[in-house]
Structure 1
């Protein structure tokens, strides 16, 4: 596998399909009030760094960093089923952390869910620790909040 992580536009067909797959999974797993993903168009905003993972042109996953005052928030980190367990998620997280450092950010936060146990384990392996709600999130009994100092 020759994995490459590159910047992309969510409005392009391939990246858009990845985001739609991610959001479809979230809609199937969680009630609307438990979903905190950004709309596809919002992932194209100037304060978002959107990346895709590809191998020989095939898109395997995506992720976004929302640049906020004082920290970055990981959004929409997703890996296609067929590519899971191959290091794609780890590569995306590493690239998003590098993007945060390039923005001068020393902290990354994220919201996920206990039902996404593999994602929680992946973040924990990469140094993310659980914390309480942040920003406008509320403790809804479903969400897991994490952060990592860079």
Structure 2
């Protein structure tokens, strides 16, 4: 596999398909008030860097970093079911961290669902640790909050 991670457009049909799969999964697992994903149009905002993971032209995953000024927030991290376990998530996380460091952000933060165990493992391997709610997030029972200080 020759995996690359590059800037992408969330309105690209392949990226949109993955984002829709991600949204459908979140809607099937969590109540509406506990779904905090960004819609596709919101991912085109100037403060958001959107990335796709590609293998031979096929889009395998998506991820975004929202520049919140004092920190970068991981958003829209999703890997196609067929590509899970192949290092796609780790490659996307590494690219998000590089983006955060390039922007001189001191910390990366994220909110994820409490039953997304594979995501928890990915984030922990990338150096994230649990923390309390941040930003405008409520202390939802179905949310886990994590951060990684970039030093």
TM-superposed CA distance for 1:18, in Å, is: 1.3
* 2:26 match: 26
In structure 1, runs of 5+ residues without a counterpart are: none
Partner of 2:83: 83
Q: Mark the runs of 5 or more structure 2 residues left unpaired by the alignment.
A: none
Structure 1 residue 79 displacement after superposition: 0.3
SS of 1:62 mapped into structure 2: strand
Residue of structure 2 in register with 1:16 after alignment: 16
Q: CA deviation at 1:12?
A: 1.6
Structure 2: distance between partners of 1:8 and 1:126: 22
Deviation of the 1:76 alpha carbon: 0.7
Q: Distance in 1 between matches of 2:5 and 2:149?
A: 22
Query: Which aligned pairs between 1:90-129 and structure 2 lie closer than 5 A?
Result: 90-129=90-129
Secondary structure of 2:28's counterpart equals: helix
Measure, in 1, the Cα distance between the counterparts of 2:27 and 2:66: 21
Measured in 2, the distance between the counterparts of 1:27 and 1:112 equals 13
SS at match of 1:40: coil
The yes-or-no answer on 1:130 pairing with 2:139 is no
Aligned-pair Cα RMSD in Å: 0.7
Instruction: Measure, in 2, the Cα distance between the counterparts of 1:18 and 1:109.
Output: 22
So what's the TM-score if we normalise by structure 1?
A: 0.98
Measured in 1, the distance between the counterparts of 2:5 and 2:30 equals 29
The CA deviation string for residues 125-146 of structure 1, in whole angstroms up to 9 with x for no partner, is: 1110000000010111110000
Distance in 1 (alpha carbons) for counterparts of 2:121 and 2:4: 23
